[in-house]
Every structure is written in C-alpha cells, then in structure tokens.
Amino acid sequence: MPAAEPNLPIDWTTFRAVLFDLDGVVTPTAEIHERAWAELFAAWDFTRADYLAHVDGKPRYDGVASFLASRGVALPLGTSDDPPGDDTVCALGNRKNDMFNAVLARDGIAPYADSIALLDTLDALGLPAAIVSSSKNARTVLDAAGVRGRFVTVVDGLTAEEHELAGKPDPAMFVHAASALGVTPADAAVLEDAVSGVAAGATGGFALVLGVDRSGGHADALRRAGAHLVVPDLHVTIGDDDVRPADAPEANR
C-alpha cells in the first residue's frame, strides 16, 4: 500500500486495478451536468457552491433532495417513472436528465487527453480499469466519447439500482467494481473529482484515493474528504518508466 502522500509520478504497478469516476475525470461531462443543474434550479439561485455541496458525484435523485433540503423545500419523492416536471423529487431529476441528454446529443463529448494517456499506461502494464459513476447516463457518455471499450466493467446508476447499491459517498459502488475486477479495495486505486466520490473511496479503504482538481480551488475540500493526493490532471501521475510491455513481469498482476 502506498504512503498517505505518495510521490509523483505514481508507481501504478503498486496496484492491481484502477477505478475511474467518469464526469470530470475521464470526460468533461461535469460541465454539462453543472449547466443542467443550474438551469433546473435557476429559481432558487443555484450556485457552483451548491453544485459542489449538494449534487456533484451523487445519484441524481439524491442530489435533487439534498439541494431542495438546503433551501427548506420539501417535495414527495415520487418514482423513477414520473414524467419530467417539478412536483416530485424524481420528476425534477428526470427533467434534469432530459436537459443533460439534449446538450450531449447536440454537442457530443471528447475524453480528456490525460485520461487516455493514463489508460494507455495501464494497458501497457496489464492493469484493468473500471468506471464507477452515479450517473445512469454513463454508458451513453462513454459510447459518445468512444472509450467504453477501454474499461473492463462499468458500475453506474443502473448497476446501483439493479444490485441495490447505495450511492456515493457510500463506498458500495466502488467495492462492487473492485469485486468485479477480482481485487480488494486494498489493491485498488480510486480516481475522483467529487467530494462525495473521494469520501466513498476513503471510507472503502482503497489503497489510493486520488483527487482530481482540474479547475483549481477544490483541492482542500478533496483532501478533507480523504484524498491521499490531489492533482490538477492525470498527466502528472505518469512517469516514462511506467510504460512497459504488457507481458513484463509484475509481482502484483
């Protein structure tokens, strides 16, 4: 297990698997999500601070409920089948989902170059990667970005619903992904940009919880949530010596 404050670049051979959050780590969909949330809650003067505190990284309906509670608004939960609207928590969540998908269909999405570089490094080392995302749109986003095939497994909002897994900040989704890859949390790294996701990785006892602070100004919150290390991008985690043939002998493969 690496030290609490590992050095850069990271020795990825220390781990047997790497678990990636999607939005804000692999693809810039966090920006689309944030715009959709801001439009949904415009009447309540929704701010970036609200986004980070109440909805970032959480399952959609949990985010709706958390934000409404911060404004003293109580709505019935409803069901996932509620039509998009504003009379239940689920209706608001479904309305937000429509907003997100409209932007994704119109503008498309491209993965971060540094994420692809890290995935190339992990492939060369023979280390499997997984996506762990609260979003039920994760597979659609991965397909749109052309990177779904880079991940051995995808644990998303649909998986959580099917297996009754609690959402982040509970570690259940990360633990499920690690199990699907045949490893324990003590052998896996978690890459997250959201406070709730970092907290999930820390609570789950993962060997490394790496906070990704692409926009800056979020590092302290990620550290307080349990990140062992916070980086501005994933390029800084890759050393030239990390890239070696996939059939190179590795003690932990």
d(CA 96, CA 102): 10
Residue 19 scores a pLDDT above 70 = yes
d(CA 70, CA 92): 16
Mean pLDDT for 76-99 is 96
Summarised one tens digit per residue, pLDDT across range 111-123 is 999 999 999 999 9
Indicate the length of the chain as a whole number: 253
Quickly state the pLDDT bin for 32 (edges 50, 70, 90): confident
The residues spanned by each domain of the chain are 12-28+110-242, 30-107
Cα diameter, the chain: 58
For the chain, the 3-state helix, strand and coil shares in percent, each to the nearest 5, are 50, 10, 40
Contact 19, 189 (CB under 8 A): yes
CA quadruple 232, 201, 122, 12: dihedral, nearest 10? 80
d(CA 137, CA 190): 20
Contact 186, 207 (CB under 8 A): yes
Exposed, middle or buried: residue 162 (CB in 10 Å: 0-12, 13-18, 19+)? exposed
Contact 208, 225 (CB under 8 A): no
Residue 30's pLDDT is 77
Residue 1's pLDDT is 43
Residue 240's pLDDT is 63
Strand partners, 12: none
72 in the Ramachandran plot: left (φ > 0), alpha (ψ -120 to 50) or beta? left
Contact 174, 204 (CB under 8 A): yes
Residue 130's pLDDT is 98
The interaxial angle of helices 60-70 and 89-107, nearest 10 deg, is 120
Residue 253's pLDDT is 25
Residue 45 scores a pLDDT above 90 = yes
Provide CATH code, domain 12-28+110-242: 3.40.50.1000
d(CA 169, CA 202): 9
Q: Which of 169, 182, 170 is nearest to 130 (CA)?
A: 182
Residue 241's pLDDT is 53
Catalytic (active-site) positions: 21, 23
Q: Write out the DSSP string of 175-201.
A: HHHHHHTT--GGGEEEEESSHHHHHHH
Residue 88 scores a pLDDT above 80 = yes
In the chain, % of residues over pLDDT 90: 79
Summarised one tens digit per residue, pLDDT across range 208-248 is 999 999 988 899 999 999 999 999 999 999 976 544 333 33
Enter the tokens of residue 147: 């990177």
Task: Determine if the pTM surpasses 0.85.
Answer: no
Summarised one tens digit per residue, pLDDT across range 128-178 is 999 999 988 899 999 999 999 999 999 999 999 999 999 999 999 999 999
